[in-house]
Structure 1
């Protein structure tokens, strides 16, 4: 019991040291002294973080795709295209590291598209630009990561 209290205290006071201590205990197979409660919480948090990151990156990708496709501002094209390339690369990295995120793609896409559309409309509707209510192109992973829809 004392060890669990010390581990929790370490978790709260020095997270890096707690991770190092936890890894050392796991490697030594000293499972009786591992702070399981906080370890479980951290592992759950990692999964949530991955889901949040793919949603965030897909939202940014969609925002810039919408702008590049529908907003006629050639002076901005290069910046939007750079962001599109960067987000596509980061999404590829995420999917490579966690292929199971692919199973969430369709649900994530719908949420990300609504958020991206809301933000782009807020930014450009007063300037007379109109945006469709639905994504009018392919939405599968391969298409989203490789097709330049504006060409």
Structure 2
């Protein structure tokens, strides 16, 4: 396949690439651009997971440390990233390993964001995550609302 097609008509390039793969005509593939696309999709999946985790941790921190400012919109702001992460795990179970890898760094990023959004000193927010990897993904978990409940008693957890 002509690699110029990739630059000229991306959609047509995708169609022809899929057609060549379906027919097993590997030698005719535009390998360079196919590799670039594959690597881009890989990065996109990881970036989306990291972004959703960071946002979710930010709202969990705000929920915990700004109890007097809690609102329905904050609660609903935690639903979407949880769903996005769950969907990512359903589509790509191996992303669970990446989730474990980035959890601590994402928490540190969320501390910085929480400082900027709340005007509280960064030292206000515990340096170590107050939330477990499982709690963060638990659809029913909201800090300080689950006192005395066991994570295994709560509803759906998206992480195994």
TM-score of the aligned structures, taking structure 1 as reference length = 0.86
Deviations 1:95-132, CA, capped at 9 Å, x for gaps: 111110111222211121111110110221259x9322
CA distance in 2, matches of 1:86, 1:126: 25
CA distance in 2, matches of 1:29, 1:83: 45
- Give the number of aligned pairs: 143
CA distance in 2, matches of 1:73, 1:80: 12
Runs of 4+ in 1 over 2 A off after TM superposition: none
Say which structure is richer in helix: 1
Unaligned segments of structure 2, at least 5 residues: 146-160
Q: Does 1:33 align with 2:28?
A: yes
Match of 2:84 among 90, 102, 105: 90
Distance of aligned partners of 1:102 and 1:126 in 2 relative to their CA distance in 1, 3 Å threshold:
closer
Distance of aligned partners of 1:72 and 1:144 in 2 relative to their CA distance in 1, 3 Å threshold:
closer
| 1:14-53 pair list within 5 angstroms | 14-53=9-48
The question of whether the paired residues in 1 share the 8 Å contact of 2:3 and 2:33 is answered with yes
More displaced 10-residue stretch of structure 1: 57-66 or 114-123:
114-123
CA distance in 2, matches of 1:137, 1:46: 30
Unaligned segments of structure 1, at least 5 residues: none
Q: Does 1:116 align with 2:131?
A: no
| 1:5-16 pair list within 5 angstroms | 7-16=2-11
The question of whether the paired residues in 1 share the 8 Å contact of 2:59 and 2:74 is answered with yes
Q: Does 1:107 align with 2:93?
A: no
Secondary structure in structure 2 of the residue aligned to 1:99: coil
